[in-house]
Structure 1
Amino acid sequence: MTDPVQPAGERRPRKRVTNYGAGRVALLDAAVRVVARGGLRKLTYRAVAEEAGVTHGLVVHHFGSRDALIEEAVAHAIRSSLSSSAMDTGTGKADDFATGLAAMVESGPDLQAFQYELLLEARRRPELLPQLRALYEEYFAATRRDLSRLLSRPVDRGLSRLVFAALEGLVLHQLVFGEQDVTEEALTELRDLLRTLADERDGD
């Protein structure tokens, strides 16, 4: 994907960032969008400044180095992902399992794309693995807790990873192909399967 060409003499209006805290978050959000579109290799001061509508110098002022920008963008994406996660509803009901997953993808596709870009980039840059591992351990644990409540028994790692892999695959497919309705249909089938597992356990 390429950026639209601006007509000669025209520039995108620049937004002034006056609050340090809010400005930093806005720049990190811009960094997430840059990576979602072009991968981590496209993450530069200039690209973030253009995306946020601010000066190149302001991005340098906030982060100091490209490595710091990458590190903080990853940490910001992880915090945002965990706060918007559709896992760990806490109700223990099959009907509530992974509710809001499709809507989460629809409302925040850049955040999801950013994570997948990081997964691929981590194969080339092992230094990204610790933060990614921490994020995914949170996902794995949330899935396991939700399943344990739903099935009324401890859930082993294999089952929780299997279910999480199904959810992550649905997120990726919706991100690429759209089709939110297909995601919802698949989630209905998954909930039916989990309900069957729970009923079998109750019948023992």
Structure 2
Amino acid sequence: MATGSKRSEQAKPSYGEGRQALVRAAIRLVARDGLAKLTYRSLTAEAGVSQGSLRHHFPNLNAVLEASLELCLETTQSYLRKPSGSFEDLFAHLATSLREHPEIPAFQTEVFVGARHEPDLKELALRHQEAYRERTRTALADAGLPYDEDLVEILVAIAEGIVYQRVVFGADRAHATDRQIAGSRRLLSALTAALTEPAGHQGG
């Protein structure tokens, strides 16, 4: 009995590990089963911790979602910050991130849809989306292209469309994602040429 008890104690996550276990479990659970399936019981079962541990780390499930979105944002930004080489390759890292971390966009999509009815979640979703806007603004500036917030919104919408289609249709549609990325390169190349063409040559 003493040996079993000792093993049980060793298996329990430490303070920081317990919090991370809950955050990562929330991402897995919501990505796999949907936001409606996130409950105290399902989350603690997925994470392998007690409900007491959950309440010790988080006051409510929205706090878990907030921490989970923050982790998703950190992971997403690690891809967004990678040098793309040129403005045409703005979306080049999307395919890699979707392949290596498919649970993240799936989780984000579930939370963003739920944000329609939850003001707190809507604020989190908007803050998360702003990271994509900022990356696009930086790419425009690095390419020496004129600042245009309308263009930023359009490009973010394209990126989100690529991500959401992959979430809905899954890895079986990976070839479609590759085609979309390739198409975006041609679109951005044409856009760059149009924005850098001398004014006297436009429309001529």
Same fold (TM over 0.5): yes
The alpha carbon displacement at 1:198 in A equals 2.0
Residues 105 and 171 in structure 1, CA contact (< 8 A), matched pair in contact too: yes
Partner of 1:80: 75
Q: 51-60 or 187-196, which moves further after superposition?
A: 51-60
Partner of 1:191: 185
Correspondent of 1:110 among 75, 82, 103? 103
- Tell me the C-alpha RMSD between the 2 structures: 2.3
Larger Rg: 2
Indicate the SS of the match to 1:100.
Answer: helix
- 2-structure distance, mates of 1:68, 1:147: 35
Indicate the SS of the match to 2:122.
Answer: helix
What letter is aligned with 1:60? R
Matched, 1:22 2:14: no
Q: 110-119 or 88-97, which moves further after superposition?
A: 88-97
Correspondent of 1:143 among 131, 136, 141? 136
Partner of 2:117: 124
Give unpaired runs (5+ residues) of structure 2.
1-9, 199-204
Q: 1:143-179, CA deviations, whole angstroms, 9 ceiling, x for partnerless residues?
A: 12213323x2223111121122111111111122232
Residues 34 and 110 in structure 2, CA contact (< 8 A), matched pair in contact too: yes
Q: 188-197 or 57-66, which moves further after superposition?
A: 57-66
- 2-structure distance, mates of 1:80, 1:92: 20
- 1-structure distance, mates of 2:47, 2:162: 30
Cα distance change on mapping 1:148 and 1:35 into 2, 3 Å: same
The alpha carbon displacement at 1:42 in A equals 2.0
Residues 27 and 52 in structure 1, CA contact (< 8 A), matched pair in contact too: yes
Kindly tell me the number of residue pairs found equivalent between the two proteins.
187
**What are the residue-to-residue correspondences of 1:33-72 with 2, within 5 Å?**
33-72=28-67
Question: Structure 1 runs of 4+ off > 6 angstroms?
Answer: none
Partner of 2:159: 167
Q: Which has the higher helix share?
A: 2
Q: Could you state the TM-score of these two structures normalised by the residue count of structure 2?
A: 0.79
Residues 87 and 139 in structure 2, CA contact (< 8 A), matched pair in contact too: no
Q: 1:12-64, CA deviations, whole angstroms, 9 ceiling, x for partnerless residues?
A: xxx93332212211210101112223333322221112112333333233224
- 1-structure distance, mates of 2:191, 2:60: 51
- 2-structure distance, mates of 1:153, 1:173: 29
What letter is aligned with 1:77? C
Partner of 2:3: none
Identity %: 33
- 1-structure distance, mates of 2:192, 2:110: 36
Q: 93-102 or 128-137, which moves further after superposition?
A: 93-102
Cα distance change on mapping 1:149 and 1:92 into 2, 3 Å: farther
Correspondent of 2:148 among 133, 152, 156? 156
Q: Could you state the TM-score of these two structures normalised by the residue count of structure 1?
A: 0.79
- 2-structure distance, mates of 1:110, 1:201: 37
Partner of 1:6: none
Indicate the SS of the match to 1:57.
Answer: helix
